[in-house]
A = this chain, B = another copy of it.
């Protein structure tokens, strides 16, 4: 356990929010990847995506179990996040196999970075679980190889996917703002309270710089412009 007092209700609420986000994120990732798998060009590609989709359910189960030890029902913890996640996915429906892969790499990448930033402020058990769930990057090398191969065959793809990457980040940030505005407890994990240290404005700005830098790096790995 860290020095964070668990008797702090605001802290507890924030940690539950973080786990609720992860659980619902895993569930929607499962759905999305299972759908993307249907668009796979070969059966081997389908197996690749289906495997990572299935792993999301393991993540969901881990987070669900952790919430249960905290006396919280995973369904209740996820409820506040249906709207922003569903909106994000509705606004960013991949039009083809490559858009699906870029979404999995870039969209999940920036989300994972953000969750890790928040996890720095929760207790060690929760933090370890968050990092464990997010460390599962089975698909990344595969996606990079696929997207680069696709662009070799179709040079126009690079421009379209670069635009797509920017749109994904734009939509993700707009939904993240919505969550931040609605969920004080989650936001105050980052910003701290009178009794609990957090980030000041300069530190929050540095955090955003880190998120953007990592995003740019991921786009470059794919051979795309951020």
Q: Given that A54-B53, A57-B51 are known contacts, is A75 also in contact with B31, CB under 8 Å in the complex?
A: no
CB of A78 within 8 Å of the partner chain? yes
In whole Å, how far is A41's beta carbon from the nearest beta carbon of chain B? 14
Query: Which residues in B have their C-beta under 8 angstroms from that of A30?
Result: 34, 50, 54
Query: Which residues in B have their C-beta under 8 angstroms from that of A221?
Result: none
CB of A181 within 8 Å of the partner chain? no
Question: Copies of this chain, how many?
Answer: 2
Question: CA of A50 to CA of B26 in the docked complex: distance in angstroms?
Answer: 11
Query: Which residues in B have their C-beta under 8 angstroms from that of A61?
Result: 51
Contact A38 B47 (CB under 8 A): no
Query: Which residues in B have their C-beta under 8 angstroms from that of A57?
Result: 50-51, 53-54
In whole Å, how far is A126's beta carbon from the nearest beta carbon of chain B? 21
Query: Which residues in B have their C-beta under 8 angstroms from that of A46?
Result: 27
Question: CA of A35 to CA of B36 in the docked complex: distance in angstroms?
Answer: 11
CB of A194 within 8 Å of the partner chain? no
CB of A67 within 8 Å of the partner chain? no
CB of A58 within 8 Å of the partner chain? yes
Contact A54 B47 (CB under 8 A): no
Contact of A31 among B38, B56, B60 (CB under 8 A): B38
CB of A149 within 8 Å of the partner chain? no
CB of A135 within 8 Å of the partner chain? no
Query: Which residues in B have their C-beta under 8 angstroms from that of A27?
Result: 43, 46-47, 50
30 examples of A-B residue contacts, CB within 8 angstroms: A27-B43, A27-B46, A27-B47, A27-B50, A30-B34, A30-B50, A30-B54, A31-B34, A31-B37, A31-B38, A31-B50, A34-B34, A34-B35, A34-B37, A34-B53, A43-B75, A43-B78, A43-B82, A44-B75, A47-B60, A50-B57, A50-B60, A51-B57, A51-B61, A53-B57, A54-B54, A54-B55, A54-B56, A54-B57, A54-B58
For the complex of A and B, list the 4 residue pairs with the smallest distance between their C-beta atoms, beginning with the closest. A34-B34, A54-B57, A54-B54, A30-B50
Q: What 15 new A-B contacts, CB under 8 Å, besides A31-B34, A53-B54, A54-B56?
A: A27-B46, A27-B50, A30-B50, A31-B38, A31-B50, A34-B35, A34-B37, A34-B53, A43-B75, A43-B78, A50-B57, A51-B57, A54-B54, A54-B55, A54-B57
